[in-house]
Amino acid sequence: MWPLIFIAGCLALVLLQFWWQERRNARLRIQARREYTEVALKQQREISAQFLAQQQALFNSMIEGVLLLDQEGRVQLVNESLRKFFDFPAEIRGKNILEAFHLPELANLTNRLQNEKIISDAELEIQREQLRSLQVNAAVVTDRSGVEQGQIFVFHEVTRLKELENIRQEFVGNVSHELRTPLSLIKGFAETLLDGAKDSPEQATRFLQKIDKHADRLLFLIEDLLTISRLESGHVALNFQEVNLRDLVQRTFEDFASRAAARKTTVENNIPETTVIWADADRLQQVLFNLIENAIKYGKAEGRVIISAREISADKTEISVADDGPGIPAEALPRVFERFYRVDRARARETGGTGLGLAIVKHIVQAHGGEVRVQSELQKGSAFFLTIPHRPD
C-alpha cells in the first residue's frame, strides 16, 4: 500500500510542479507580450510624432498657406505662411472656420466644397495693412477607402500679380486712347478733304497741315512707347563714357533755339566748364531734352530756364532744370513721373505731349544708378533734380 501512496504522491508533486511551471511560463508570456506591446506602442507614437513634425516642417517651409479642417469643419492644421497671411492673434486649432478667420467668403468655400469636392482658382481678398489677394485651391480629404476625413485649402498670394495686371490693363487702355485721338482726327480731316475741301487749295493746305501735325504726334508717341518698353524690359545697354556736361547741355539748347525764341524764354547754362560725369551721352541728352522741353513748354512766356549742376557728395553729381513758370500743384507732384500722367490733360495734348517724357527721364536716370525728384511751388516755378553717380573705381 505505501509504495502506491508514495508513487501517487510523487506523481502529484510532478504534476503540481508542471502546473506551477506552466502558470509561470504563461505569466512570463503575458508580461513579455505586454512589454512588447508597450514598446511597439511607444515606437508607433514616436514614429507618428516624428511624421507629424516632418509634415508640419514641410508645410511650414511652403510659400503657400495651408489649412486643414477636420470632418466637423474645425481647424486641424495651419502652416506658418497662412499665419502670416492672416496674422492670427492666438491658437486657432479646434475652432470652426468662421470663429478662426471671420471670413464668410471662406466659410462659403467650405460649404461649396462639400458638393463640388474640389475647387480651383477661387479668389479671396483680405484687408490687412493693405488689400491682399489670395488664390485658393481646395479639396476634400479622403482616407484609403474613400471616406471623407476633412478638407484641405492651399492659399497662394497673388497681390503683386493683380497689381501688375491692373498696370498692364491701364497701360493698354491709355495707349489705345492716346493712339485713337490723333488717328480719329487724321481720319476726320481726310474725310473733310474728300468731301470737297480738297478743291480749295487754301482749305486743303490747312487740313493737310493738321494731318501732318497729328501724324507727327502719333510718331512721337510710338517712338516714346518703344523707348519706354525697351527701358522697362532692361534691354537698353548704356554706353558709359566721360561726358562734359556743359557741352552736352549747350548742344541740347541748339534744338530749342526757335522754340525758346517763339516763347521769348531765356535759357541759361550755369554748368561749370569742368563738370564731367560718367554717363551714356545720348541717353542723358534725351533726359535733358525732355526736361528743357517741358520747362519751355509749361513755363511762362518770357520766362527763364536754368540748368545747373553741383557735386552733392563724394560720389554723385546733381543736375537741376528749373523754370519760373506756373508750377505743379502739390497733389500732382508724386505722380508726374508716372506714364501718361498729366496735370492739365487738355493743355498737354494741345502742346503735343505724349505723357511719357518724365517716365522716360526717370527710367534713364535709374538705369544710370541715379534718382529723380521734383520741387515746385505754384506761381513760382518747378525744378527737376537728377543725381548721377560718379564713375566707379
Map residue 225 onto helix, strand or coil: helix
Q: Closest Cα partner for 353 from 185, 224, 256, 211?
A: 224
Any idea what DSSP says for residue 353? -
Letters for 193-212 (x = contact with ligand ADP by CB under 6 A, - = none) are --------------------
How far apart are CB 183 and ligand ADP at their closest, in Å? 18
CB atoms within 10 A of CB 9: 10
Q: Which residue has 525758346 as its cell numbers?
A: 260
- Interface region with ligand ADP, contact rule CB under 6 A, candidates 109-117, 125-133, 227-235, 294-302: 294-302
Ranked by CB distance to ligand ADP, the top (closest) residue is 353
Q: Closest Cα partner for 309 from 384, 253, 239, 381?
A: 384
Letters for 344-373 (x = contact with ligand ADP by CB under 6 A, - = none) are x---x----xxxxxxx--------------
Q: Which is nearer to ligand ADP, 265 or 354 (CB)?
A: 354
How far apart are CB 224 and ligand ADP at their closest, in Å? 8
How far apart are CB 237 and ligand ADP at their closest, in Å? 24
Among residues 86, 153, 298, 385, the one that binds ligand ADP under rule CB under 6 A: 298
How far apart are CB 297 and ligand ADP at their closest, in Å? 7
How far apart are CB 388 and ligand ADP at their closest, in Å? 19
Q: Which residues contact 130 (CB under 8 A, 6 or more apart)?
A: 159
Q: Closest Cα partner for 85 from 108, 107, 106, 111?
A: 106
Backbone angle region of 121, left / alpha / beta, with phi > 0 → left and psi within -120 to 50 → alpha:
left
Q: Which is nearer to ligand ADP, 325 or 370 (CB)?
A: 325
Tell me how far apart the alpha carbons of residues 140 and 111 are, in angstroms, rounded to a whole number.
Answer: 11
Any idea what DSSP says for residue 332? G
Q: Binders of ligand ADP among 82-101, rule CB under 6 A?
A: none
Cross-strand partners of 268: 306
Among residues 211, 267, 336, 372, the one that binds ligand ADP under rule CB under 6 A: 336
- Interface region with ligand ADP, contact rule CB under 6 A, candidates 8-16, 108-116, 225-233, 321-329: 321-329
Q: Closest Cα partner for 129 from 159, 102, 98?
A: 159
Tell me how far apart the alpha carbons of residues 291 and 321 are, in angstroms, rounded to a whole number.
Answer: 7
Tell me how far apart the alpha carbons of residues 259 and 266 are, in angstroms, rounded to a whole number.
Answer: 11
Among residues 75, 113, 134, 328, the one that binds ligand ADP under rule CB under 6 A: 328
Q: Which is nearer to ligand ADP, 285 or 354 (CB)?
A: 354
Q: Is 294 in the site for ligand ADP (CB under 6 A)?
A: yes
Q: Is 342 in the site for ligand ADP (CB under 6 A)?
A: yes
Q: Is 303 in the site for ligand ADP (CB under 6 A)?
A: no
253's grid cell? 539748347
Given the rule CB under 6 A, which residues bind ligand ADP?
Answer: 290, 294-295, 298-299, 323, 325, 328, 336, 341-344, 348, 353-359, 382
